[in-house]
Each structure stands twice: as C-alpha cells, then as structure tokens.
Amino acid sequence: MYRLCYKSKSVLPLTWELVKEITNKSESSNSSVGLTGVLLASRTHFLQVIEGNFEDVNSVFRRICRDTRHDDLSLISFNVVDARLFAAWGMRGIGVFDLNNKLEAALKEKYGEEEGGLKFPLEEWAVLALINDLKMVSDLPSWKK
Ligand SMILES: Cc1cc2nc3c(=O)[nH]c(=O)nc-3n(C[C@H](O)[C@H](O)[C@H](O)COP(=O)(O)O)c2cc1C
C-alpha cells in the first residue's frame, strides 16, 4: 500500500462547483481501481492525498500532473504505508474556503496564511494533522458528501 501527497495551485479561483466536478468523476474512477483519498481546496490551492497500489497511485498521479486546471505542483510524499487512512473515501472533497471566521482564523494561526486563504503545508505530517483537524469539526459547513 502506498500513500502520495501533493500540493498544487489552481489556475482558476476555487469554487465548490470545480471541486465537485473533480471529485464526482474521481470517486467512480478511483473506486474502480481501489484508490482512496481526500482532496482539500483552499481559495487558491489543492492538497491531495491518494492511497492504493503503487501502479494505480502512480498512474493517476501522472494524469493529475497533466491536468491543465492546476500548476505549480509540489510532490510532498510518496511512501509505503501499512494501512489506508481514508478507506471509506473514494475521493472526498473538502473546501476550506467557506469556513466560519472563527475556525478559519484558528487554522490560519496554526498553519499560516497564503493569498488571503489558509496556507496548505508542504510536510506530510502537517498535511495529515490538518486533515485530522478538519475531520474533528463535524459541523463544518463545507463538508459535502
Ligand atoms: C486537483 C485534481 C485532483 C484530481 N484527482 C483525481 C483523482 O483522484 N482521480 C482521477 O481519476 N482523476 C483525478 N483528477 C482528474 C485527472 O487529472 C484527469 O482529468 C482524469 O483522471 C481523466 O484523465 P484522462 O482524461 O487522461 O482520462 C484530478 C484533477 C485535479 C485538477
């Protein structure tokens, strides 16, 4: 089992419509090859975690790298792992651009700010900590199934 994390910059300002368009298509194609993960979107950036077999993670990552909807892609990690962290999610989208002010302020305090929005980290441990912080906020308005 492998886990890959990367960060990239969206070419267009991020909206729920765009995130939904990506995650709806990804859900079905990922599920068909046993890929799972999560896609975070700030106002300007994507942060994605993908888990699965080496070949499947590698091949979806190659397609993602070619996608013209984003650029400035930074590979954060691509490691062997014991188990999945997101077994239940074919590809869950989490938008962190319409958080309530208090929560956004707390996250910006912890992870920093970039281009007016929450700054996505470039270290794997911080990526997983951020996702965990977001998971704990069960009433997050931007959690969309
Ligand atoms: C930020 C981002 C994340 C994406 N994540 C996935 C994904 O998890 N799985 C997937 O199949 N495609 C994902 N895509 C879409 C792929 O880039 C690509 O458009 C899609 O896999 C179809 O590839 P194809 O046109 O070569 O068949 C993502 C695109 C973007 C911009």
Domain membership flag for residue 142: no
Q: Can you tell me the distance from the alpha carbon of 29 to that of 1, in angstroms, rounded to the nearest whole number?
A: 18
Grouping H, G, I as helix, E, B as strand and the rest as coil, residue 22 is helix
Does residue 71 surpass a pLDDT of 50?
yes
The CATH number that applies at residue 84 is 3.30.70.100
**Whole-number percent of the chain with pLDDT over 90:** 72
Stretch 12-41: mean pLDDT, rounded?
93
pTM of this structure: 0.93
Averaged confidence pLDDT in the chain: 90
* 31-52 tens-digit pLDDT: 999 999 999 999 899 999 999 9
Report if residue 143 sits inside a domain: no
pLDDT confidence of residue 103: 85
Task: Determine the number of helices (DSSP H) and then strands (DSSP E) in the chain.
Answer: 4, 7
Q: Is residue 111 part of a domain?
A: yes
pLDDT band at 140 (very low <50, low <70, confident <90, very high): very low
Residue 64 lies in a domain: yes
Instruction: With respect to residue 19, please indicate whether it lies within any of the assigned structural domains.
Output: yes
> Which residues, judged by CB distance below 6 Å to any ligand atom, belong to the binding site of ligand 1?
22, 26, 29-30, 39, 46, 48, 50, 60, 63-64, 67, 69-70, 91
Local structure of residue 36 (DSSP, 8 states): E
Q: Give CA separation, 135 vs 20, 62, 77, 108, in Å.
A: 18, 28, 21, 16
Distance in Å, CA 63 to ligand 1 centroid? 6
- Residues contacting 37, CB < 8 A, separation 6+: 30, 48, 49, 50, 51, 86, 89, 91, 92
pLDDT in tens, 78-91: 999 999 998 888 88
> How many whole angstroms from 101 Cα to the centroid of ligand 1?
31
Per the structure, the complete domain to which residue 47 belongs is given by 2-136
Residue 141 lies in a domain: no
User: Which run of H or of E encompasses 32?
Assistant: helix 16-33
Res 100 pLDDT > 80: no
What are the backbone dihedrals phi and psi of residue 53, each rounded to the nearest 5 degrees, phi first?
A: -70, 155
Instruction: Give a yes or no: residue 76 inside a domain.
Output: yes
Domain total in the chain: 1
Nearest CA owner, ligand 1 atom 26:
63
- Per-residue pLDDT band at 95 (split at 50, 70, 90): confident
Q: What is the mean pLDDT of residues 118-133?
A: 95
Are the C-beta atoms of residues 17 and 32 closer than 8 Å to each other? no
The answer to the question of residue 144 being in a domain is no
